């Protein structure tokens, strides 16, 4: 009996396919085959079948699926599924599972590469790749760790494919792989190894201009999508092409594709990959001298705005910028190092990023600061009658500021203020409008806001014995007219994206209709919002922050009676929670995360009593980095905002939960 998982799940006996029954039975078989000849617990099967919400009958259902699979697989002999304590093991001969045969062939090919037998290695890679009939377990959607295991096999396929292309390039088959590389680069635009292989193949095919354009396209994609420059290896390859490095014409030139400097490649008479030291390959820990990397980077960026920015700050390159209290800070998204530290008003919180300026709402000094991108100057001014609460911007570059009246102000109205882009005051250098025209709401607080769909969405009202923060004001950007939407529960956060307003809410039992933590999605054409339940009952608070981007809605919750912060990833089309990340291990007890932003290649989190920025990889949904910016008791990170290329935070001097009204 033959088992196939490298593509749609198949079982073949004597050349004939075996009927596998229901989808759940196929899911169980898929998990067992991913762990062929290994113990798989019943709980693991339940996780991959139903995810975080298994039915009460899950254990009994798994037993039924296993019983049916036994009948299917033991038709020609002994039962291949054995039962252990609380789990199961599927016995499969290695040659009977396509994944096992593929891994053996890839291992053999890699050994042949190490011996320099690239022709034989290329053939083994082709045999391994021929076993794939499509994505691993296509049509079988696992719900838990099985997703990562499926992704690992698909990653191995791509790695084997790139290894085979390396062999073909070393054997002089650059013309034959160009078409294939064009397709692969379009499918995997962020894979720099594929970009390098494409550049080398184009150069060897006497298409130097196309090779350099391939580098330019790679750089545009990396900068636009992730906010990062190409790797040093890719930059070195581009420089080698510009100077017509002779090694690129030889099989040894493939070393540049794999991240080695062309100067370390062997001369044409030496074996492929041999080093000048006489050893079989270059030292594993080779690194170019620092001055070479800096020089190459400046040459690549000369004449560009980025080069000007680098040169203008070169005097401080030897002394790292330090984050100080009451400042606006731009971070390098890749390293977490401060790029800009600009003093602003007292206790800065929310941030609005516009094309010309970065705005902050300053809770402690009741004013707004504007950091001018061109002059790098900061201007601060009071623009609202009370304390500014939140700040956002629209597509025209206008900043919108909401207002929290002073505690002793009996006026039950609140306002949102538009600060028009390019509208200056009466005195020279004054970048603020000389006259502010507020939009009033008949409720005593304008809080969190979002812009989209031609409107400004503002949470208005206050929380008290009879909460009134269950209203949302919708301001038409063209007419400045506002309408009020009343919710059933208290509103805690808001964001706009994917043609939808996403409003976080929670209830308090008798005071509210529901006591669930939810997101209410307001979509065009719907008379009522769609509800997404994040946590049922005993929810201390609804989502404290919501952000949209990278194909998902991200809700930061805090805190239930059973856990601390969680980050929920929501599919904006299906409104289903697709991932729930527990973040409590990232910070000490008594500290919480309060803000989330999406952009610059990550999902970013900061919080109260917290001195670090946490980065979540939006593709793997895993915590990838933690950047500690402030050390000691002074200085808290209370605001964060991101674009496709930029990441900004604000640092105050006391805890975030003591500000904002």
Determine whether 96 is exposed, middle or buried from the number of CB atoms within 10 Å of its CB (0-12, 13-18, 19+).
Answer: middle
DSSP string, 447-477: EEEEEETTEEEEEES--SSS----EEEEEET
d(CA 207, CA 201): 9
DSSP string, 171-227: TT-HHHHHHHHHHHHHH-TT-HHHHHHHHHHHHHTT-HHHHHHHHHHHHHHHHHHHS
The answer to whether residues 300 and 221 belong to one domain is: yes
Tell me, yes or no, whether 374 lies in a domain: yes
Which range, 359-373, 423-437, 515-529, is most confident?
359-373
Quick check: 241 pLDDT over 60?
yes
Strand segments (E) across 600-635: 602-608, 612-617, 622-628
pLDDT tens string 19-39: 888 888 888 999 999 988 888
Residues of the chain above pLDDT 70, percent: 77
pLDDT of residue 284: 28
Quick check: 531 pLDDT over 60?
yes
State the residue range of the domain holding 240.
205-270+291-319
β-pairing verdict for 592-599 and 602-608: antiparallel
The answer to whether residues 540 and 412 belong to one domain is: yes
Tell me, yes or no, whether 177 lies in a domain: no
Q: What is the mean pLDDT of residues 634-642?
A: 82
pLDDT of residue 323: 85
pLDDT of residue 435: 52
pLDDT band at 101 (very low <50, low <70, confident <90, very high): very high
If we measure between CA atoms, which residue out of 402, 403, 395 comes closest to residue 452?
A: 395
Q: What is the mean pLDDT of residues 345-364?
A: 89
The answer to whether residues 257 and 395 belong to one domain is: no
What CATH number does residue 105 fall under? 1.10.10.10
The answer to whether residues 605 and 623 belong to one domain is: yes
Q: What is the mean pLDDT of residues 479-505?
A: 88
pLDDT band at 224 (very low <50, low <70, confident <90, very high): confident
Interacting residues of 442 by C-beta distance below 8 A, sequence separation 6+: 412, 413, 484
> Taking phi first (over 0 means left), then psi (-120 to 50 degrees means alpha), and beta for anything else, what does residue 502 get?
beta
pLDDT of residue 488: 80
pLDDT band at 656 (very low <50, low <70, confident <90, very high): low
What's the structural domain count of the chain? Answer: 3
pLDDT band at 507 (very low <50, low <70, confident <90, very high): confident
pLDDT tens string 400-423: 888 876 555 555 677 888 876 555
The answer to whether residues 361 and 261 belong to one domain is: no
Name the average pLDDT for the chain.
Answer: 78
pLDDT of residue 76: 57
The answer to whether residues 237 and 331 belong to one domain is: no
pLDDT of residue 75: 67
Q: What is the mean pLDDT of residues 210-230?
A: 88
Tell me, yes or no, whether 472 lies in a domain: yes
Angle at 147 between CA 144 and CA 153, to 5 degrees: 150
pLDDT tens string 601-633: 899 998 766 678 999 988 888 888 888 886 655
pLDDT of residue 320: 62
Quick check: 649 pLDDT over 80?
yes
Residues in the chain: 661
Least confident of 260-264, 501-505, 519-523: 260-264
For residues 565 and 592, the answer to whether their CB atoms sit within 8 Å is yes
Tell me, yes or no, whether 282 lies in a domain: no
67, containing H or E segment = helix 58-73
d(CA 255, CA 237): 10
Tell me, yes or no, whether 284 lies in a domain: no
pLDDT tens string 564-600: 678 999 999 899 999 988 887 766 655 678 899 999 9
Quick check: 329 pLDDT over 80?
yes
Least confident of 180-189, 214-223, 290-299, 608-617: 290-299
What CATH number does residue 532 fall under? 2.130.10.10
Handedness of CA 166, 167, 170, 173 (dihedral sign): negative
Quick check: 298 pLDDT over 80?
no
Q: What is the mean pLDDT of residues 462-484?
A: 74
Tell me, yes or no, whether 364 lies in a domain: yes
Query: What is the 3 state secondary structure string of 93-107?
Result: CHHHEHHHHHHHHHH
Least confident of 279-283, 463-467, 537-541: 279-283
pLDDT of residue 185: 92
The answer to whether residues 467 and 499 belong to one domain is: yes
More confident residue, 209 or 607: 209
The answer to whether residues 468 and 424 belong to one domain is: yes
Tell me, yes or no, whether 223 lies in a domain: yes
The answer to whether residues 123 and 217 belong to one domain is: no
The answer to whether residues 313 and 340 belong to one domain is: no
Which range, 141-150, 290-299, 372-381, is most confident?
372-381
More confident residue, 431 or 625: 625
639, containing H or E segment = strand 636-642
Quick check: 294 pLDDT over 80?
no
pLDDT band at 431 (very low <50, low <70, confident <90, very high): low
Q: What is the mean pLDDT of residues 85-95?
A: 85
Residues of the chain above pLDDT 90, percent: 27
If we measure between CA atoms, which residue out of 182, 183, 165, 162 comes closest to residue 174?
A: 165
pLDDT tens string 105-155: 999 999 999 888 999 999 999 999 999 998 899 888 887 678 888 888 999
d(CA 371, CA 183): 44
Quick check: 304 pLDDT over 70?
no
Interacting residues of 299 by C-beta distance below 8 A, sequence separation 6+: 239
Quick check: 652 pLDDT over 60?
yes
More confident residue, 561 or 245: 245
Quick check: 262 pLDDT over 90?
no
The answer to whether residues 484 and 587 belong to one domain is: yes
The answer to whether residues 346 and 261 belong to one domain is: no
Q: What is the mean pLDDT of residues 56-79?
A: 83
Among 149, 171, 193, residue at a domain's last position = 171
d(CA 76, CA 165): 42
Tell me, yes or no, whether 275 lies in a domain: no
Which range, 293-302, 349-358, 500-509, 527-536, is most confident?
349-358
Least confident of 142-151, 244-253, 418-427, 466-475: 418-427
More confident residue, 249 or 163: 163
More confident residue, 600 or 15: 600
pLDDT of residue 281: 30
pLDDT of residue 80: 86
Query: Residue 291 — φ and ψ, nearest 5°?
Result: -65, -30
Quick check: 295 pLDDT over 80?
no
**Which residues on adjacent β-strands are paired with residue 520?**
503, 531
Quick check: 219 pLDDT over 70?
yes
């Amino acid at each position: 009996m033959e088992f196939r998982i490298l593509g749609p799940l198949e079982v073949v006996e004597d050349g004939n396919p075996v009927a596998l029954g229901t989808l759940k039975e196929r899911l169980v078989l898929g998990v067992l085959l991913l762990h062929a000849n290994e113990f798989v617990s019943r709980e693991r099967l339940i996780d991959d079948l139903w995810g975080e919400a298994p039915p009460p009958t899950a254990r009994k259902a798994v037993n039924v699926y296993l019983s049916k699979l036994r009948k299917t697989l033991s038709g020609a002999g002994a039962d291949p599924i054995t039962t252990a304590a609380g789990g199961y093991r599927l016995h499969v001969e290695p040659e009977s599972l396509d994944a096992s045969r593929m891994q053996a062939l890839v291992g053999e090919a890699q050994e042949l590469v190490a011996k320099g037998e690239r022709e034989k290695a290329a053939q083994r890679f082709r045999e391994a790749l021929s076993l794939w009939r499509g994505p691993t377990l296509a049509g079988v959607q696992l719900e838990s760790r099985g997703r990562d295991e499926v992704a690992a096999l698909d990653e191995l396929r791509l790695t084997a494919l790139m290894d085979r292309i390396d062999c073909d390039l070393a054997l002089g088959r650059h013309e034959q792989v160009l078409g294939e590389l064009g397709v692969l680069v379009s499918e995997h635009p962020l894979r720099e190894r594929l970009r390098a292989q494409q550049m080398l193949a184009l150069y060897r095919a006497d298409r130097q201009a196309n090779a350099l354009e391939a580098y330019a396209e790679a750089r545009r994609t990396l900068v636009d999508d992730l906010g990062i420059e190409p790797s040093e290896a890719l930059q070195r390859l581009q420089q080698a092409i510009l100077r017509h490095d002779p090694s690129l014409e030889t099989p040894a030139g493939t070393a540049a594709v794999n991240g080695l400097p062309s100067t370390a490649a062997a001369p044409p008479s030496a074996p492929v990959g041999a080093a000048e030291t006489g050893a079989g390959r270059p030292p594993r820990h080779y690194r170019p001298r620092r001055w070479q990397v800096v020089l190459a980077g400046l040459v690549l960026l000369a004449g560009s705005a980025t080069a000007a920015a680098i040169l203008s700050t070169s005097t401080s390159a030897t002394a790292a910028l330090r984050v100080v209290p009451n400042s606006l800070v731009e971070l390098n998204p890749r390293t977490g190092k401060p790029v800009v530290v600009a003093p602003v008003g007292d206790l800065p919180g929310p941030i609005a990023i516009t094309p010309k300026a970065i705005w902050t709402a300053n809770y402690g000094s009741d004013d707004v600061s504007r950091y001018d991108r061109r002059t790098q100057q900061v201007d601060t001014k009071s623009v609202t009658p009370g304390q500014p609460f939140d700040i956002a911007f629209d597509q025209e570059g206008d900043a919108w500021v909401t207002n929290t009246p002073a505690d002793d102000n009996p006026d039950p109205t609140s306002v949102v203020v538009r600060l028009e882009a390019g509208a200056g005051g009466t005195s020279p250098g004054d970048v603020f409008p000389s006259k502010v025209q507020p939009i009033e709401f008949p409720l005593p607080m304008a809080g969190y806001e979002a812009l989209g769909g031609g409107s400004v969405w503002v949470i208005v009202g206050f929380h008290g014995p009879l909460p009134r923060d269950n209203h949302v004001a919708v301001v038409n950007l063209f007419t400045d007219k506002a309408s009020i939407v009343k919710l059933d529960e208290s509103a805690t956060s808001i964001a706009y994206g994917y043609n939808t307003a996403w409003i976080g809410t929670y209830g308090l039992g008798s005071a509210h209709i529901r006591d669930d933590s939810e997101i209410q999605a307001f979509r065009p054409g719907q008379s009522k919002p769609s509800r997404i339940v994040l946590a049922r009952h005993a929810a201390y608070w609804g989502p404290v922050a919501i952000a949209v981007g990278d194909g998902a809605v991200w809700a930061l919750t805090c805190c239930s009676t059973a856990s601390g912060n969680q980050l929920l990833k929501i599919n904006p089309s299906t409104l289903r929670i697709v991932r729930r990340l527990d973040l409590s291990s990232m910070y000490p007890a008594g500290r919480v995360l309060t803000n989330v932003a999406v952009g610059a290649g990550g999902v970013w989190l900061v919080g109260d009593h917290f001195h670090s920025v946490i980065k979540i990889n939006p593709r793997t949904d895993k915590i990838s980095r933690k950047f500690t910016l402030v050390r000691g008791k002074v200085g808290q990170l209370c605001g964060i905002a991101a674009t496709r290329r930029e990441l900004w935070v604000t640092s105050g001097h006391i805890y975030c939960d003591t500000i904002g009204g």
